[in-house]
A and B are shown apart, each in its own frame.
Chain A
Amino acid sequence: MVYESQKVAIKYFVISAILFGLQVIVGLLLVSKYIWADPLIGFLPFNTARAIHTNLLVVWMIFGFMGGTYYLVPEESGKELFSKGLANLQFWLLLLGGLVGVIGFLFRWTAGRPLLELPVELKWAIVLVALIFIFNVFMTMIRTKKWTAIQGLLLGGIVMLAVMWLFGIPFFKNLTLDYYYWWWVIHLWVEGAWELIAASLMAFILLKITGIDRQVIEKWLYVEVALVLITGIIGTGHHYYWIGTPRYWLWWGGIFSALEPLPILLMVFDTLNHVRHRKIEILDRLVLHWAVGCAIFHFIGAGVWGFIHTLPVVNRWTHGTQVTASHGHMAFFGAYAMTIITVVYYALPKLKGLKQYNKKRGFLVFWITTISMVVVGLGFGVAGVLQSYMQRGLGIDFLTVQGFMRPWFMAVLFGGFGLFIGVILYIITVFQLFLKKFE
């Protein structure tokens, strides 16, 4: 840490970790509802719990990205943050908005659209938070002496994130158009804006820990995000096969989304290459572990798992089944959860001025969470293949097929418990670092 104002990132990291824990707890509840009769149906039915689960995911990741951005920007631009006050204000507003949202769900205050359940008033409040955030970041960056690709692409990512969010706000009369623009938020976030943010954060960390020439790192960063957006933007079409949109999307979506794993594969090679050609000894083995693991899991969860069911011939049978749940869990974990955890393990000790601390637990968290997530992904995956075959292929009734899928939901529950333990250990580490006195 070089700049005093980077410290605003600390509370973002702490809240992000706590909300991650809550998300996993609600996830355990959700999968239990698949396995056993639901005693909580009157108080917390599946739909409410799912809204909480997915919104907690988005909120903890946004907190993570914002924390990461506030850590990165002063160091990249060579200036203190434009305003620490705004960064703090924005933190409390977002936290308040998130809490009101979750409590609102319990009282059925909702827009009723999956993943975009927040009521319209809160959606506009989030726009306000985003504007403060972008303003603060932008005002810091324009005072820089040298625009770097890392900060430019990071800014591009957060602006794109905010702009796409706007498409999730209106009420659509036509369900097909509703879902057409719903994907402009969901898909163009996770396969666009978020990728830009994650790639910039990761490039920054690789730059710092490997000592590789900035020119080399930034060149490959450009190529990566170029490929992400070239495949990802038109790749949105893989969501337009069956929602009432024209048949030509089967070709546009199929071809472009089939290429989506390429940039992620490139990220894996880049990461390994940068590590191999490092100019300085990588002292922080833990961060290295997470960074490399993140690249690989990102490729498997988002790239491979996505590719498997992206072609129309396959998707016709798997669309709307647990195959999607499997992909969703693996991809979010590999691409974003692991990126944020990498950032936190890198930045938090630095923000506390720690040269050394016991990293054993960090490795333990790595292995427990990744293995658990593989179990979760495979559990959902097998359940989804069964469902595609029996329900879509053989035409057997929905609930009858759910009975056959039960053992695999048990596997998901088992993996979920593992993940829960891993995340608790992670939260403990974050708190220990948080409570340390600055050295």
Chain B
Amino acid sequence: MGKKFARNFFILGTAICTVVFIWLTIDTHTTIPKRTHTDQLSEEVILGKRVWHKYNCNDCHTILGIGGYYSPDVTKVYFMRGEAWLKAFLKDPESPDPKRRKMVNFHLSEDETTRLITFFKWVDGIDTNQWPPKPIGEGKIAEVESKSEPQVALGKGVFEKYRCDICHKIEGKGGMIGPELTREGSKRDALWLEQHIRDPKSHDPTTVMPPFPQITKGELNALVDYLINLK
């Protein structure tokens, strides 16, 4: 193999790959409207994206898995937390456990908060090829249904998984947004709690607590058992 052959290999190889890459790019563009439902990409969403850039959120948080790894990914945050929770959190992100990692309070205006949440709502709908993947371990919690001590421990896990502690305090640990739950078992029964977690507005239409429709039956049972035992 001579130098000339090597040079031609370089020129030809690079040219072919560039052409293929551009062809793939064009094809990708044709799929974008459907995969990212651009019909819903409203002015409000774009303004929300500008808020996202303005406060450089992306250098702490990842979105679509890209960015800083210091803080949680926000791709699915709209689905995971819901609008009410996001509003409350963005208003006062520093409130939870002082020992935990904190978010800066940017003192967003009402408009900025709404726009940012609209942006998250749009991002939530992007077809990411099922990323982030569904955890393998999640099934295990749902399988346990029997009433026993481990059930209570599981419920504590569920409490932590959905980060109830950001708003609710138990034995001195947790946030101030929602009521303290240290003696919740002596105040409410299982049915009330179950309804309230599934749909908080059924009891109090003005509550800021988000509904948790994504919680599985097994998780909900465990969580209620845990709360009932707090007396």
Contacts and interface: CB of A to CB of B under 8 A. Distances in A.
Nearest to B2: A219
B35 A320 contact: no
Contact of B129 (A33, A226, A250): A250
B28 A50 contact: no
Interface string A227-271: 101100110110011111111111010000000000000000000
State the main secondary structure of chain A at its contact with B. helix
A83 interface: no
Given A237-B24, A397-B161, A242 B65 contact: yes
Given A46-B70, A47-B59, A171-B53, 17 more contacts: A46-B59, A47-B60, A113-B58, A174-B32, A177-B32, A223-B9, A226-B10, A230-B14, A234-B20, A245-B28, A320-B65, A320-B69, A320-B73, A321-B69, A393-B137, A394-B135, A399-B100
Name the 4 nearest CB pairs between A and B, nearest first.
A395-B135, A112-B53, A320-B65, A47-B59
Contact of A399 (B10, B25, B101, B104): B101
28 contacts: A34-B70, A46-B59, A47-B57, A47-B58, A48-B56, A48-B59, A50-B59, A112-B54, A112-B59, A174-B36, A175-B63, A177-B29, A179-B66, A180-B28, A225-B10, A226-B6, A226-B10, A229-B10, A230-B13, A233-B18, A237-B24, A241-B131, A243-B65, A246-B35, A316-B133, A319-B65, A396-B161, A398-B71
B21 A233 contact: yes
A215 interface: yes
A23 interface: no
What size tier do the contact residues of chain A reach? 35 or more
Interface of A: 33-34, 37-38, 41-42, 45-48, 50-51, 108, 110-114, 117, 149, 171, 173-177, 179-180, 182, 215, 218-220, 222-223, 225-227, 229-230, 233-234, 236-237, 240-250, 252, 316-317, 319-322, 324-325, 392-400, 402
Among B59, B65, B133, B160, residue most surrounded by chain A Cβ atoms (within 10 Å): B59
A233 to B, nearest CB: 5
A107 to B, nearest CB: 12
Given A50-B60, A218-B3, A229-B13, A176 B126 contact: yes
A219 B3 contact: yes
B41 A110 contact: no
B57 A112 contact: yes
A113 B16 CA distance: 31
Contacts of B67: 114
Nearest to B33: A174
Interface residues of B, number: 71
B72 interface: yes
A316 B128 CA distance: 11
Contacts of B64: 175-176, 179, 242-244
B68 interface: yes
B171 to A, nearest CB: 17
B131 A319 contact: yes
A226 B16 CA distance: 11
A223 B116 CA distance: 48
A174 B29 CA distance: 11
Contacts of B129: 241-242, 247, 250
B14 A173 contact: no
B38 interface: yes
Contacts of B38: 174
Contacts of A218: 3, 6
B40 to A, nearest CB: 11
Nearest to A236: B21
B62 interface: yes
Given A230-B14, A234-B24, A242-B65, A41 B7 contact: no
B111 interface: no
Contacts of A174: 32, 36, 38, 41
Nearest to A391: B135
A237 B129 CA distance: 14
A402 B160 CA distance: 14
A174 B48 CA distance: 11
Contacts of A247: 129
A408 to B, nearest CB: 13
Contact of B98 (A34, A37, A176, A398): A37
